[in-house]
Structure 1
Amino acid sequence: MIPLRQRSRASGGKAVPNQKTQIVVVGGGAGGLELVRKLGARYGRKRHDIILIDRNLTHIWKPLLHEVAAGSLDANLDEVGYGGHAVRWGYRFFNGSIESIDRAARTITTMPMLDERGDEIIGRHSIRYDYLVMAVGGISNDFGVPGVREHAMFLEDR
């Protein structure tokens, strides 16, 4: 691993006084969550600004979902809340979904968050990054079987 330095690629790699290296990880699944935990533990908040963006507020380890279905695991007790996890491990959590990435400007824009009526409760945000990690995982495949998409519950649906 190449050590991170106090610089901003947006400034052409030149040192920017008092500006932390910003590492943005999109996706709080198993890979993204482990990455921000390790980065936070290693670099902390003093030298780097580590941000996790996920559309959910919590993470549940998907390989344990069969135990939730069988009733031997309580998903409400075994979920990891990103907010508390972020405080413990030295990163910041931003709840949202990605709308666009501007690679030239090194920014990522999140979509506005809407309530159940469709009213905007949180507007778009533009987040600067020096390093961007896309850890969005995957989605279940219905293999084109009629009715599956409408009637099945998928792992990512929780």
Structure 2
Amino acid sequence: MQNKLNLRNKIVLGLALSAALVQGTVPLTNERVRRLGDQMQCKCGCYASITGCNMINCHFSDPVRTQLLKLIDEGKSDDAIIADMVAAYGKDILLKPPAEGFYLLSWLMPFVWISGGLGAIYLVLRSYLRKRPAAEGPGQIVVESADLARYRDRIDKDLSDLE
């Protein structure tokens, strides 16, 4: 009898835990909830999308998923749902910022930094190549300055003293 009671308690406990987990998460079987949730960012600190947040009983994504499901059941269009979410949580809920106003900088700055870096590399290479003397090849006449000739003579004299 004691064994059956323990088995029965284990089964009831397992069912209760399963029901609690299922109740805590909004089912993502609705394709529109998944699609719209993938366009929005979870604010629990995981920086994942609303549908990609894997925190159990997340304090942000679960209510937003429920709200998405409610808005879909009301028959609203995708654009109207996104506009409602932006009105409720601000533009920073969107994973892709809109290409307008201050958010336009987030689209433009990578290209500005890349082109600036390439321009700096070009300027450094150009100044480096400009300072380098031309290679002396066969048949080219090298004109020595008077100072260079004097130093060569001094080196030759010092080397002859060593021998």
- Same fold by TM-score, threshold 0.5 exceeded? no
Q: Which has the larger radius of gyration?
A: 2
Give the helix-richer structure, 1 or 2.
2
Give the strand-richer structure, 1 or 2.
1
Q: Say which structure, 1 or 2, has more relative contact order (CA 8 Å, 6+ apart).
A: 1
Place the TM-score, normalised by the shorter chain, in its bin: under 0.3
